[in-house]
DNA sequence: TTGTACGCGTTATCAT
DNA sequence: ATGATAACGCGTACAA
């Protein structure tokens, strides 16, 4: 038989309201009573009914994470980060996968909120950019935080990394090593970060006084194959780059594969750099130098932002980190 | 303003209980009324309150997935599979990461159940083997299904793949290609599947009339480094294997790395096989031949088992699949 | 600082 | 096949 507040109150010799106060850590409870109540709760192994709390109160002690078609590793990082903050807050996490392109995404979101009465919602890219879903959230006055939104940055609180600076840092790192011909593979055009990373690459070149050479820049699509294709073209160039910087790690893995096939020694003959968006290539081919994307930290910060209940659209930027491995070296040519 | 059952019943001109019946797809509602009620629900965009349903009823329309320290990819497959079945059932999924080695895992599990009143629980390895957690579940009479349990198979319903057969299949495949010296790298000793896979390897050898050579078998620990180490030893052998079969893909990746370093042509000079437990190596090094572990299918089946509410400890075995790529070829030596 | 009475929105029980 | 009414276990509002 599950113990209820009534049982606790009887055992402790206080009113149910007092027990409720202790449970919710409200002020105005004497130390004396608090102890008695906590003792009784422990003795009965009292566990509050989430259902009753939701129904009676305003809060549900639950938040939802809505995520879409990202890589498993990315999603896992997101979940882990949010989870960590939720535990601190004593809040449960409802996982809600969803298709960002589905026409009834908005309905799903609306239904989720109306049914579960979650206290807040965290959106992970690319669901972050669904107008309809956001409208649904706004209409209900539901607090929400977006992680790495691609558009409409002023619309809600959000958390993201500084893609421009990250690409700039990596490019600068290569320049400092002495590279003058640095290839760059652009990410998928439908991803906002792609432009930002390209911009960071150009900014670093500019600052260093190196000319921007369009032929060293190839369009990719965030997948292994497009990385391979781009690398083939770049390495066939008359004055081939001594370093190639790919906008994500799947493409960087493609570059590495091509380098292997061509018998290029890494990093002596070619420096390869990327982002560890999915932390894949870096594990198998440790020689890849990467920008570590602070996914887990962003997620944690997003949850924190939600619980802090700040006013207006607060933006929080999380620092990235350059993981320099043996793969970047001074150019030999 | 959210619409309630009362609103719906008023609009439809029926009692609240009838609306409840329609909502829960109960029998004994005339087609006529059902239509009226459903019309009213749609018109008001009625969304039932999960909290109220839980409090009043016996079901919570929620199940929990408890998972531990698996690879992100594995966890993602699990979640995806369960989610798919939950959607069909109109049930929400509560994600509950947890440390399988934590002393208060049982308390967490108990608290989760008492607080959320979930309808059932799915345990994913290695949480599946926590005596204390299982006890807690049993004590409450909570239905649960385990995915790939390592021990105590009769204790609850469970779902798993046939590790013995899978390893047998792969080994047989190599034998059929003509390989007579097949190296094997054992998985981590604390993982039940390790023994089973070794057994499958031996069984295939036996059946083919090939002698089991202990020197072709090395102990590994499911990680990249142990795969490398084992490969170094195996390839240094006087009569080195013409094929190496690793018990998981991290180790197989290690084998591939060593082969690369030694300039061995794949698959001409060495065939490499593994399990895609984390589906990692197979993506980056397509030439790896693998046993595809049906993780998502197992998860789906686990949820199905839960919803079917079968009596006793039912075990369901999910079929694996041999993904043969260019990496296995007839031996050259 | 503590207690009382009521209501949250649904399902269960029992009646019809 | 349908309806009336009483729980479910907590938080809120107000009183003391």
Distance from CA of B16 to the nearest CA of A (A): 18
Structure tokens at A93: 């996490």
SS3 content of chain B, % helix, strand, coil (to 5): 45, 15, 35
Query: What pLDDT does B317 receive?
Result: 92
Question: How many beta carbons lie within 10 A of that of residue B154, not counting itself?
Answer: 8
CA atoms within 13 A on the CB side of A304: 13
H-run or E-run covering B174: helix B163-177
Pick the closest to residue A324 from A279, A277, A274 (CA basis): A274
Please list the alpha-helical segments (H only) found in chain A.
Answer: 5-12, 16-23, 31-44, 50-56, 72-89, 105-116, 131-139, 163-176, 192-208, 224-236, 249-261, 281-284, 295-308
Query: What pLDDT does A277 receive?
Result: 63
The DSSP string of B128-148 is GG-HHHHHHHHHTT--EEEES
Pick the closest to residue B100 from B134, B140, B129 (CA basis): B129
d(CA A116, CA A131): 22
Pick the closest to residue A271 from A303, A246, A292 (CA basis): A246
Query: What pLDDT does A153 receive?
Result: 84
B13 backbone φψ class: left, alpha, beta (φ>0; ψ -120 to 50): left
Q: Which nucleotides in chain C lie closer than 7 A to a protein CB?
A: 1-5, 7-13
In tens, the pLDDT along B53-70 reads 888 887 888 999 999 877
Please indicate whether residue B213 or residue A43 has the higher confidence score (pLDDT).
Answer: B213
CA of B17 to C1' of C15 (A): 13
Burial class (CB in 10 A: 0-12, 13-18, 19+), A252: buried
d(CA A81, CA B53): 31
Least confident of A56-65, A269-278, A322-331: A322-331
In tens, the pLDDT along B315-333 reads 999 999 888 776 677 777 5
What's the sign of the alpha-carbon dihedral B216, B221, B227, B232?
negative
Verify cis geometry, omega within 30 degrees of 0, for the bond prior to A267: yes
Helix (H, G, I), strand (E, B) or coil at B101: coil
Indicate whether B180 pLDDT > 70: yes
Residues paired with B217 in a beta bridge: B184
pLDDT classification of A327: cutoffs 50, 70, 90: low
What are the sequence ranges of the domains in chain B?
5-38, 62-161+295-319, 163-293
Structure tokens at B59: 């079901």
Pick the closest to residue B74 from B296, B291, B290, B272 (CA basis): B296
Query: What pLDDT does B282 receive?
Result: 43
d(CA B146, CA A136): 37
Structure tokens at B77: 């497959």
| CATH number assigned to the domain covering B62-161+295-319 | 3.40.50.2300
Please indicate whether residue A285 or residue B3 has the higher confidence score (pLDDT).
Answer: B3
Q: Which among A47, A77, A117 is the nearest to B111, CB-wise? A: A47
B95 vs A115: CB contact, 8 Å cut-off? no
Which nucleotide is nearest to A16 if distance is taken from CA to C1'? C3
- Tell me if A62-161+295-319 shares its fold with A163-293: yes
Question: How many beta carbons lie within 10 A of that of residue A264, not counting itself?
Answer: 15
R_g over Cα of chain A: 25
Task: Judge whether A167 and A196 are in contact, CB under 8 Å.
Answer: yes
Q: Which among A76, A83, A95 is the nearest to B93, CB-wise? A: A95
Helix (H, G, I), strand (E, B) or coil at A133: helix
Burial class (CB in 10 A: 0-12, 13-18, 19+), A308: exposed
d(CA A207, CA A229): 29
Mean pLDDT of all residues in chain B? Answer: 87
Which nucleotide is nearest to B54 if distance is taken from CA to C1'? C10
For chain A, give the percent of residues with pLDDT over 70: 95
In tens, the pLDDT along A125-150 reads 888 989 999 999 998 889 999 999 98
Please indicate whether residue A18 or residue B217 has the higher confidence score (pLDDT).
Answer: B217
A 168-187: CB within 7 Å of strand D: none
A117 vs B93: CB contact, 8 Å cut-off? no
Q: Which amino acid residue lies closest to nucleotide D12, measuring CA to C1'?
A: A57
What is the third-level CATH fold of A163-293?
Rossmann fold (3.40.50)
Residues paired with B186 in a beta bridge: B219
Question: How many beta carbons lie within 10 A of that of residue B2, not counting itself?
Answer: 15
d(CA A23, CA A15): 13
Most confident of A283-292, A311-320, B94-103, B320-329: A311-320
A4 touches strand D (CB under 7 A): yes
Tell me if chain B has a CB within 8 Å of the CB of A227: no
Distance from CA of B15 to the nearest CA of A (A): 21
Query: What pLDDT does B229 receive?
Result: 95
d(CA B304, CA B307): 5
């Amino acid at each position: 038989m599950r113990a209820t507040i009534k049982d606790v109150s009887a055992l402790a010799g206080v009113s149910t309201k007092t027990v409720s106060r202790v449970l919710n850590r409200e002020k105005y409870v004497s130390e004396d009573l608090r102890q008695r109540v906590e003792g009784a709760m422990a003795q009965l192994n009292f566990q509050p009914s989430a259902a009753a709390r939701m129904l009676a109160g305003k809060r549900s002690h639950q938040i939802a994470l809505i995520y879409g078609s990202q890589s498993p590793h990315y999603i896992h990082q997101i979940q882990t980060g949010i989870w960590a903050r939720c535990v601190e807050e004593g809040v449960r996490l409802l996982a809600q996968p969803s298709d960002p392109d589905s026409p009834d995404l908005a309905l799903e979101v609306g239904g989720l909120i109306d049914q579960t009465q979650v206290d807040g919602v965290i959106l992970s890219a690319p669901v972050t950019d669904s107008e309809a879903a956001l409208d649904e959230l706004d209409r209900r006055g539901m607090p929400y935080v977006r992680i790495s939104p691609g558009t409409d940055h002023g619309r809600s609180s959000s958390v993201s990394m500084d893609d421009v600076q990250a690409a700039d840092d990596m490019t600068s790192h290569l320049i400092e090593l002495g590279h003058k011909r640095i290839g760059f593979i652009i990410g998928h055009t439908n991803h906002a970060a792609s432009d930002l990373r390209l911009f960071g690459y150009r900014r670093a070149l500019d600052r260093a006084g190196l000319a921007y050479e369009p032929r060293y820049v190839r369009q990719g699509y965030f997948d292994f194959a497009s990385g391979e294709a781009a690398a083939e073209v770049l390495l066939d160039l008359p004055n081939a780059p001594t370093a190639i910087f790919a906008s994500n790690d799947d493409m960087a893995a493609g570059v590495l594969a091509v380098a292997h096939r061509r018998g290029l020694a890494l990093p002596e003959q070619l420096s390869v750099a990327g982002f560890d968006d999915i932390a894949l290539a870096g594990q198998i081919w440790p020689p890849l130098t990467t920008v570590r994307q602070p996914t887990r930290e962003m997620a944690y910060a997003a949850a924190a932002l939600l619980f802090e209940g700040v006013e207006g659209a607060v933006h929080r930027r999380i620092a990235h980190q350059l993981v320099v491995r043996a793969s970047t070296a001074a150019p030999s040519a």
